[in-house]
Amino acid sequence: MATLLVDGRRVEAQAGDSLLVALVRAGLHPTGGGCLCAGGDCPNCLVTVDGVAYTRSCQVQAVAGMEVTREHLGDEEPALLAKEPTSAGNAAPVRHVHCDTVVIGQGDSGREAAREAGEAGLHVVTLDAREGQHVTGVYPGPLVVASDKAGRVLHVHPRREIVVATGAAEIQPVVPGSDLEGLVTARGAAELVAAGIDLGRAVAVGERPAGLPERTLTGHFPVGEGGWELVRFEGGGRIEAVVVRRHGDTGAAEERIECDTAILGLGRNPRNALARMAFDLPVRVVGSAAAEPELPPCPREGTVCPCSGVTVADLDGVWGRGFHEMELLKRATLAGTGTCQGGVCLPYLRSFLLERGGRLQPAFTARPLNRQLTVRELAAGAHTAVTARSPLHDEHLSLGARMDRAGGWWRPWTYGRRDDEYRSVRERVSLGDVSSLGKMLISGPDAEAFLERIVPTRVATIRSGRCRYVLMLDERAYLLDDGILCREVTAGPGSGDLLDDGMLCREADQGAGDRFFLTSTSGGSGFFELWLRDWAEAFGCDVRILNQTASLAAINVTGPQAARLLARAGARELPAFGRHRAVRIAGVDCRVVRLSFTGELSYELHHPAADAPRLWRRLLATGAGFKVQPHGLETLLRLRLEKGHIVIGQDTDYDSTPRRLAHEWAVNLDKGDFVGRQAILRTNKQPLDKRLVTLRADEPPAREAGDPSAEGAAIHDGDRYAGYVTSDAGTTADGGVPMLGWLYLDAEGKLPREVTVDGRPARRVDGPTYDPDGERARTAVDTASETPENIRKLPVARSEATDLAAEAPAEPPLLRRLEATRVSATSKALDALVERPPWIAGALAFRIAPDELLVTASPDFEVASDPHAIVERETAFSYVWLEEGAAERFLDRECEWRRPDTRPALAQGEVAGIPAKLWFEAGRTLILTPAPFAAAFQRRLARSLAEIDGDGA
Amino acid sequence: MNEFVERQMKLTWRPPKKSYDVAIVGAGGHGLATAYYLATRHGITNVAVFERGYIGGGNSGRNTTIIRANYGIPAAVRFYQRSVDLYRGLEQETDRWLMHQQKGILWMAHSEAAVRAERMRAKLNTEFGAETEFVEPRQVRELCPQLDIEGGGRWPVLGASYHPQGATARHDRVVWALAEGAMQRGAHVHQNTPVEGLILDGERVAGVRTAAGDVAAGAVVSAVGGHVSRIAAMAGLRLPIRTHRLQAFVTNHYRQQFGPIVASSELFFYASQTARGEMLLGAEIDPQPSFSYRSSHDFVQDVCRRALHLLPFMANLRVLRQWTGVCDMSPDYSPIMGRTGVPGFYITTGWGTWGFKAIPAGGEQMAELIASGETPELIAPFGLDRFARDRTMADRGSAGTH
């Protein structure tokens, strides 16, 4: 016995009762009326169970303590608002099952299909509604999604076949009175009687119900040719009588049979929605699900669609007004759009349309969801993409920074000292975390030729040790991204000297070749790697590309005292403006790039991610004497605006050619072809219409305006609308307000000089509003020599490579930083390298791409057969060893794809929504994940393992 | 009693003729609106609309029925505002219940970049006639009490742009009312009549070849969704259009309790409650081009997950049905309307994810173009030749959204 609470009233259920049986046993109809099928095919038993409305009471077991509300009584719809707070944002747990064959439905034909497949040696998974496994949809993949007991969701991935053995639904009665209480289908009656429920005086109409003792029937009226026709049910609330007449004779006398229950055996319709949904997947339909649909007689009167309350009169009205297509009939009445998805009405709609239009129309499209899961259940297995974190994330938090999502990264927006952050850059020295910049290393015989075709700047004139701001255009010449291109200092064959002029670079071409370092914006780095690789392949360029975005952190040291701070931090020689070089600062090997986004003397320090916190803290400590203050993104956006530097996406759109952006100076049309060049030549023939310009207003907007920024404000040239503002960061020290904005040329093809913004006068200026000649950024410093060193060969102080093989799984498993090496080389060279490893014995080497290797050894080896190979220290990954059993259980839950069976094996893909590399050995499994995701992965790992233990799995 | 059963409109089907003044390909919203406005505004009724399936069976019947004008560039704001205004008067004009409900749109920001984008949107929209204001989290809570302003602790709402004229209408009824209005005045609509080719008279398009025979026409308008590239190819045109899937789903119906339309461009979803009480959710287009009408599980899975951050009350709602439409995306995320360079052949396409809201203005303007021979000022910026002239209508802010 189990006690339930139904509409606040105690109801006793017996062991094995479905909720429907328990309700009927207590004399309650779940919805107040309508024929009960007990097969999940109709909407007549829907109740709210424990706050979840639209629950089919015939498909759930009665459980002690269940709270049931019969909200569908009357016209009351369930409430949208949960009565109690729900477990916000928590998706249900998912279980991924990989198999050969999945059999949906475990009636006779489903069991037979499963047995046959099992005997053929296939791995078979069965799903059965009676086991709480309700299939919601069959999707490409193929993927079969089903609920499971205990609120879990199954994602079944069959490799070979989906067998649909879902049986048939019973056709419901559509006559007046079909919404009374006391109607059951033949199968429904059998289930109720088997549960020991007394049906009273029962009259069977149609097929004789199976398994029903003779004495329970007080009458039986077969339907169809030579039999009877159902006319209506009579009663008030509850059925009192069934009315029938001889089939095919509308003039025949009616017979009225008094009863307590009417049992309807009106024919069957295959439950084939899943099969129709899966029409082009490897699906096989067996048993009665494969039968042709039976067509009931065209309905004369009554409710056709109980979900939406559509009557035969409604159908007639709509038909009479010209709605003749099945889909139009459905849309005009909403028949078939409720919970049972046409289970009741579809056969009648077809017979109605056949009779009226003389044409048998196909069923409307079968769509998911076949069985309705909740939002919480459907979210199972989905993860919100983790927002990337800089290696300095925790440093920012400890300094009290407010973090903000920008370009897919968490970045410090402000440290809460907005004015001082600004002043420290302009007057003293400041640190900015720019680790989120995209960073690519490019080498190879064609590296220079390749980059000439990617960027519109002439690359040949960027000498070794120099760097330049470059644009990256798409084929339509719209600005895609921008960044800094550095040519590395390379040694020619036999030359140990430092090289610093074009001639020597050409010499280098014949030897080791050129290597370039290219940055891109934070938001664009993922796409940008693909962009480079696609074009390299399209052009047939022989290049190696290594994406170091996550491998390297970057700190921008900027302000008048920047060089002095760095010198104090141990930097011996700093690059001059427009140059870069390798410098050891505070014991950390950095690539120092000197250009400027802030307008002040700036050094960008690119260095291994693992060393970032150490360097950051050291610079802060050393800079205390200069009152160093880190600046956030908010301040950076203000600083750059004073210099007129654009931000991709904020100041640009899908029509931003270099000409419109006033960036023609970064385009060289005289060099060879590059991506976007043809489009520039074509568009240059069109008259210019607008330009991105710098504006300066002398006064800030009125306070009462509310929004202090003019971004989005219209620019007017007299009365003429002349464009809008894209960037405005407020008033500068001199009281002016610099802005960027799109300005349309006037009728004479000229850019106006004096305009208004929001009614305020503003003036177009030709250069940046701050330090127009760029003297501050270019200032000469005496701590630096301009002689670059060979940064490739520099010895680096680093910790030992992680000895992965020697470690055993720990309890509890903890992710730790991996010290390793990444190699980009030709596929052949890597094959040879792995064949005869030059690194210490026992190091593990993972071939993570045809042209890329991750080795748990120090980067002190060369790739013999590829002089252009890139060999770089890699600290971007964290790792954890799991004991095999724990790994299997964790991955069963969190890994959607099929894992390799062989050992050892490497696999890569998402685990728990986070990119991961898996190394399977006998007895243990290694998981590598990008270090910025380590904390998130650790949490998911711990949570998942705890929940698995809780499941008793 | 189902109050949503259609009880007013009458569709009148007539047999096809051999010749019409105007032949429109595609009886979706845009094709029927063009016929409707040709009839009601210009008295041009010798018009036929050819449809390969049933009326409104393409994207007109698969969209998420949102009407708004808060776009990213002045020309778009003006155009969509015209449509918002026409929609507001359409029930009265057609004397039909279209379930038009003005409910307002909240566009949530969860980052400083999004806050500035929404502030900018508010300013630009208001300047060009589509009233929009930036509202603080406190006001967001007042406008939509069901929303978790803390975003489950992970996606806090830092503010939103609020566009009070945002509305919804029942998509099918809009289509039927326009069809009825055109049919009443004499226009023909031919269902199950695919256009298989165009009749060319030299350079000129002079009619359509249909499954039911050749039909001559003084002007041919392509108002096709999905396979527009094929129709254009029949006229020798190559369109800068790529077709992508766009999916949506609804829950079962619940009591009317959810007021506005809410959207988040960072969590990539939007939600509203239909007149019938279903919660209706959508997101951005699928990234890869496709003509498929097939729905995917990862779509519903991801949107459910993301929506739960802001709308935790939805956890226990059951999802009833998901479906898919296809979107014709232009390179600049703006529609393409007007002449094509081929005499006698007009086009209205590139309706991406914003086709439904543009139905009345799109139809009105196309009708005016055909009737007057002059391209109306409102749609002049959206001509096909803009790509060759380097005058794209770049509207990045509207990319992939509803």
- Shortest CA gap A584–chain B (Å): 35
As a whole number of angstroms, the distance between CA B24 and CA B35 comes to: 8
pLDDT band at A500 (very low <50, low <70, confident <90, very high): very low
Q: Chain B partners of A78 at a C-beta cutoff of 8 Å?
A: 252, 254-255
pLDDT band at A208 (very low <50, low <70, confident <90, very high): confident
pLDDT score, position A819: 94
pLDDT tens digit sequence for A453-474: 999 999 999 999 999 999 999 9
Query: Does B189 reach chain A within 8 Å, measured CB to CB?
Result: no
Q: Which residues, in sequence order, are bridge partners of residue B67?
A: B167
Q: What is the mean pLDDT of residues A858-884?
A: 94
Decide if A775 is inside a domain. Answer: no
Q: Chain B partners of A634 at a C-beta cutoff of 8 Å?
A: 112
Which of A872-911 are b and which e, b meaning 16 or more Cβ less than 10 Å from the residue's Cβ?
bbbbbbbbbbbeeebbebbbbbbbbeebeeeeeebbeeeb
Supply angle C-alpha A482, A451, A859, rounded to 5. 95
Strands (E), A513-601: 514-520, 544-547, 552-558, 579-585, 588-594
Whether A463 and A538 map to the same domain: the answer is yes
Q: How many Cβ pairs within 8 Å bridge chains A and B?
A: 250
Whether A587 and A619 map to the same domain: the answer is yes
- Shortest CA gap A338–chain B (Å): 7
Q: What is the mean pLDDT of residues A836-862?
A: 93
As a whole number of angstroms, the distance between CA A405 and CA A386 comes to: 11
For residue A692, give the CATH number of its domain: 2.40.30.110
pLDDT score, position A586: 87
Neighbouring C-beta atoms of residue A775, cutoff 10 Å: 8
- Decide if A216 contacts A193 (C-beta within 8 A): yes
For residue A222, give the CATH number of its domain: 3.50.50.60
Q: What is the mean pLDDT of residues B78-105?
A: 97
Q: Which 3 state secondary structure label does DSSP give A741?
A: strand
Supply angle C-alpha B166, B170, B172, rounded to 5. 140
Tokens 């893909």 belong to A909
Q: CB burial class (10 A; 0-12, 13-18, 19+) of residue B19?
A: middle
Query: Does B392 reach chain A within 8 Å, measured CB to CB?
Result: yes
First to last CA, chain B: 33
Each as own residue / partner, the long-range contacts of residues A214-218 (CB below 8 Å, 24 or more positions apart, any chain) are A217/A263, A218/A257, A218/A259
The two three-digit tokens of residue A126, written as one number: 């069965």
- Shortest CA gap A676–chain B (Å): 13
Q: Chain B partners of A331 at a C-beta cutoff of 8 Å?
A: 56, 61, 172
Share above pLDDT 90 across residues of chain B, in percent, rounded to a whole number: 90
Whether A855 and A929 map to the same domain: the answer is yes
Q: Which of A77, A86, A649 is facing B254, going by the closest CB pair?
A: A77
Q: Chain A partners of B54 at a C-beta cutoff of 8 Å?
A: 325, 327-328
pLDDT tens digit sequence for A298-323: 999 999 999 999 999 999 999 999 99
Q: What is the DSSP string of B356-373?
A: GGGHHHHHHHHHHHHHHS
How do beta strands A124-127 and A67-69 pair?
Answer: unpaired
**Beta-carbon separation of B112 and A139 below 8 A:** no
For residue A911, give the CATH number of its domain: 3.30.1360.120
φ, ψ (nearest 5 deg) of residue A29: -90, 135
- Shortest CA gap A725–chain B (Å): 9
pLDDT band at A799 (very low <50, low <70, confident <90, very high): low
Whether A917 and A808 map to the same domain: the answer is yes
Decide if A81 is inside a domain. Answer: no
Decide if A667 is inside a domain. Answer: no
For residue A21, give the CATH number of its domain: 3.10.20.30
Q: Which of B122, B295, B313 is facing A80, going by the closest CB pair?
A: B313
What count of Cα atoms within 13 Å lies in the side-chain half-sphere of residue A815? 21
pLDDT band at A729 (very low <50, low <70, confident <90, very high): confident
Q: What is the DSSP string of A819-880?
A: -EEEEE--HHHHHHHHHS--S-TT--EEEEETTEEEESS-S----TT-TT-EEEEE--EEEE
What count of Cα atoms within 13 Å lies in the side-chain half-sphere of residue A367? 24
Question: What is the domain range of residue A696?
Answer: 644-655+683-769
Q: Which residues, in sequence order, are CB contacts of B107 under 8 Å at separation 6+?
A: B70, B118, B121, B160, B161, B162, B163, B263, B264, B265
pLDDT tens digit sequence for A709-727: 889 999 999 999 999 999 9
Whether A283 and A154 map to the same domain: the answer is yes
- Nearest Cα to B75, choosing from B396, B399, B393? B393
Superfamily of domain B19-63+171-241+331-398: FAD/NAD(P)-binding domain (3.50.50.60)
Decide if A157 is inside a domain. Answer: yes
Whether A111 and A134 map to the same domain: the answer is yes
As a whole number of angstroms, the distance between CA A694 and CA A644 comes to: 6
| Sign of the Cα pseudo-torsion (A204, A208, A214, A220, in order) | positive
Domain-ending residue, one of A725, A746, A769: A769
Which pTM value belongs to this model? 0.93
pLDDT tens digit sequence for A527-580: 889 999 999 999 999 999 999 999 999 999 999 999 999 998 888 889 999 999
pLDDT tens digit sequence for A412-464: 999 999 999 999 999 999 999 999 999 999 999 999 999 999 999 999 999 99
pLDDT score, position A74: 61
Residue B400, pLDDT above cutoff 50:
no
| Sign of the Cα pseudo-torsion (B254, B258, B262, B267, in order) | negative
- Decide if A739 contacts A728 (C-beta within 8 A): yes
Whether A224 and A299 map to the same domain: the answer is no
- Decide if A350 contacts A341 (C-beta within 8 A): no
pLDDT score, position A490: 62
- Decide if A832 contacts A802 (C-beta within 8 A): no
pLDDT score, position A492: 43
Closest-approach residue (CA) in chain B for A708: B119
Q: Which residues, in sequence order, are bridge partners of residue A12?
A: A3
pLDDT score, position B248: 96
Q: Chain A partners of B176 at a C-beta cutoff of 8 Å?
A: 332
- Shortest CA gap B303–chain A (Å): 8
Neighbouring C-beta atoms of residue B93, cutoff 10 Å: 14
As a whole number of angstroms, the distance between CA A878 and CA A697 comes to: 50
Whether A6 and A16 map to the same domain: the answer is yes
Tokens 């925790």 belong to A394
As a whole number of angstroms, the distance between CA A41 and CA B297 comes to: 23
Whether A274 and A262 map to the same domain: the answer is no
Which listed CATH number (1.20.1250.20, 3.30.9.10, 1.10.10.10, 3.40.50.2300) goes with B105-164+242-329? 3.30.9.10
Whether the link from the prior residue into A904 is cis, omega within 30° of 0, is yes
Give whole-number Cα distances, A351 to A304, A358, B99, in Å. Answer: 11, 10, 30
Residue B61, pLDDT above cutoff 70:
yes
Q: Chain B partners of A179 at a C-beta cutoff of 8 Å?
A: none
Decide if A779 is inside a domain. Answer: no
Whether A809 and A914 map to the same domain: the answer is yes
pLDDT score, position A506: 34
**Beta-carbon separation of A331 and B172 below 8 A:** yes
Q: Which residues, in sequence order, are bridge partners of residue A709?
A: none
What ipTM was assigned to the predicted interfaces of this complex?
Answer: 0.96
- Shortest CA gap B110–chain A (Å): 8
pLDDT tens digit sequence for B189-203: 999 999 999 999 999
pLDDT score, position A72: 72
Q: Chain A partners of B56 at a C-beta cutoff of 8 Å?
A: 331
How do beta strands A760-765 and A690-697 pair?
Answer: antiparallel
Query: Does B307 reach chain A within 8 Å, measured CB to CB?
Result: yes
The two three-digit tokens of residue A914, written as one number: 């986070």
Please list the residue range(s) of chain B that carry CATH number 3.30.9.10: 105-164+242-329
Q: Chain B partners of A337 at a C-beta cutoff of 8 Å?
A: 320-321
Whether A483 and A409 map to the same domain: the answer is no
Best B3, B5, B32, B398 member to test A by mutation, with max A CBs in 10 Å, is: B5
Decide if A799 is inside a domain. Answer: no
Whether A814 and A729 map to the same domain: the answer is no
What count of Cα atoms within 13 Å lies in the side-chain half-sphere of residue A860? 13
Query: Does B6 reach chain A within 8 Å, measured CB to CB?
Result: yes
Q: Chain A partners of B10 at a C-beta cutoff of 8 Å?
A: 321-322
**Beta-carbon separation of A323 and B5 below 8 A:** no
User: In total, how many domains does chain A have?
Assistant: 8
DSSP letter assigned to residue B186: T
**Beta-carbon separation of A375 and B319 below 8 A:** yes
Decide if A137 is inside a domain. Answer: yes
Query: Does B122 reach chain A within 8 Å, measured CB to CB?
Result: yes
